[in-house]
Structure 1
Amino acid sequence: MLNTSHQQLNKRIAQLEKELQFYKNFIKELTFPFEFTDYTLGMTMEKKRGQKEPIIGFLPVQHENGAHLQLDVDLSNDLPFEQIEAFLSPILDLVPHHIVFVDGNGMITLCNLQAANDTGVNRDSVIGKHIRELLQLPDELIVTLKSIEKNEPIYNQEVLDRYYGIINTRLIHNADGSIKRVISMFQSLNLMKETEKLAVAGRIAAGIAHEIRNPLTTVRGYLQFFKNDLPDKIIALIDKLLIPELDRANGIITDFLNIAKPAEVKTNHININQFITEDLGILLQSEALLHNIKVHFDLDERLGMYDVEADKNQLLQVFLNLFRNAIEAKTERTLCIAISSKLHNNIVQIYFQDNGPGIPPTIIEHIFDPFFSTKEAGTGLGLSLSRKIVELHKGTMKVQSGEDGTCFIIELPINQREAAS
């Protein structure tokens, strides 16, 4: 009986010694410093950075109960950086600037949604690829790679390639001095530049509206008043030319004011696929038959689960402007227009593509500028007003063009809640 109890005791002691060694091994593997105080036992344990073994001491006065743990964690050294990036990713998605992390070889480890959306890539697919595949620029123009080459951060450098803005980089190093990550933040100044242009346009528009609109209204009123006392030929001239031209001038002023001044947007939850096929489709079909145009729809079925906040009438105006532009640029061959939708990251992309002659590269950068037009009778306000409407919907409007035709890309944010099924 005593032998059995002795064996059990030895077995228990061996088990406790094994558990104690297990705890010691665990503490050795902790890379960060800490200090733990157990007031109940009257003992302290402190581990400093770089030390494997902790220092254990005793309190001069033993308290009844309680414990206190203090950690000193260095995120860049004590945790795998991949875990930090996974934690930061949803936070950085809220930042309206481009934020990209790359390793010492220029391979992307983190890309926020703003950078992915503005460069037109799928955020998940670009992780693990070289930064040149995201930016579509030669290596010598990529500032982040220059930061790797020089092994030093870059402060507030102006970028003047296909992107216009300010870039900053910061470096995180490994213990051996090699580069662990380069963190790049790019602040686009295109919107600021457009805002400044529109502010100037707004001041000009206010003057135009006051100085020209009132005389136009007066002239139009007197023409209507006196025309019945004039010969038939003069009446016909007034009705067919003078009054329509005055109305056209007044319409130009109205369009310009709509571009320069923020308009009221009365939004509702709409399903974008339903809007394209029903509201827009009905309007375009009659025009398509009249002008012998083929219209094709290719819609992403996933968008049936989502909606966007939009003013339906204003969106219709945008697409009707694009449709009329395509008709006016029509060549001898049959004009084909393809309208497609796509769910991309956290936005909906709408493509309006034609097979027309395309826009020359020398003028494509100016097509959204107010009063820029290549048409003899054009005002140059249609595309400016269209982009303004899209921007008021918190979206963007871009254009791509080549020999095979022109494609306008409209991006709108998806409403966070699912549409009712």
Structure 2
Amino acid sequence: MISEFQDTVPQRADVPPQVHLDYNKYENVLEHMDSGIMLFDNRGILTFINVQMAKLLELPRDLLSGCTLMQMLSLPQMSRFKKKKILRIYRETIFHRKRYHELTDEYGRHWLVTVTYGDQMDGDFLFSVKDVSDYKQIEQTAYQNDKLAMLGRISASIAHEIRNPLTAIRGFIQLLRPHLLQLGKDEYARIILTEIDRANDIISRVLNNQ
């Protein structure tokens, strides 16, 4: 744990006791966060891992503490799936300087992995893993709703474009109907008008079901 590692580092004599108390307080906060937290020092050794992270990895903390990343990946107790995900995050962080990673675990849950490093970390790497499944579900629902809304607008536009010529055809057939009646062809006009009405009914049902 961080406090155990800190005890091995020579301390200045003039460091007030309150600093150590604050340090323990912050460690307790990390312990009880709902996000998984683990810290690798500048030598690549895992110096801190909270309860939630150990649960996510499905391994006991005492087995993980003090391991390097490669030693973690060589643990037979860790699933092959998790090893592949961890290795992918490592490569993207080191070679592509990515700080945020999204992944889906073997149970279908969505996770956001945040990696903090740089000058402010003095060479350490802090990994934070948060379950974002609920946010993903909301995002997917919103996306689906947007697609349905877009489909509705497209359908309404198509229906409008179809109804315009149908209305024109209906009007001209009604104008021609007296002439067709004189020719004994009124049945043709009736069939055309019936089919136009049927087409309009179909369009209305489609729009009402959006």
Bigger helix fraction:
2
TM-score (norm 1): 0.22
Which structure is richer in relative contact order (CA contacts within 8 A, separation 6 or more)? Answer: 2
Bigger strand fraction:
1
